[in-house]
Amino acid sequence: MEPEVIPAILVKSRDELLLRISEVRGLVKEIQLDIMDGVFVPNKTIGLPELKDLPPARYEFHWMVKDPENWIAKTPGPHMHLVHVETITSIKKIQDAVKKAGGRLGLAINPETPLETLLPFVPKAERVLIMTVHPGFSGQKYITAMGEKIKRLRSLYPKLDIEVDGGVNRDTVLHAYTSGANILAAASAIFSAPDIAKAIADLKARAMGVSS
Instruction: Give catalytic residue positions.
Output: 34, 165
Dihedral over alpha carbons 172, 174, 169, 103 (to 10 degrees) = -110
Residue 159 backbone zone (phi > 0: left; psi -120 to 50: alpha; other: beta): alpha
- Buried b / exposed e over 179-208, threshold 16 CB at 10 Å, is bbbbbbbbbebbbebeebeebbebbbbbbe
**Cα four-point dihedral sign 82, 91, 122, 140:** positive
Q: CB-based contacts of 170: which residues, under 8 Å, 6+ apart?
A: 189, 202, 203, 206
SS3 label, residue 71: helix
Q: If we measure between CA atoms, which residue out of 184, 151, 147, 148 comes closest to residue 169?
A: 184
Q: What is the spatial distance between Cα 150 and Cα 158, in angstroms, rounded to a whole number?
A: 11
Q: What is the spatial distance between Cα 80 and Cα 102, in angstroms, rounded to a whole number?
A: 10
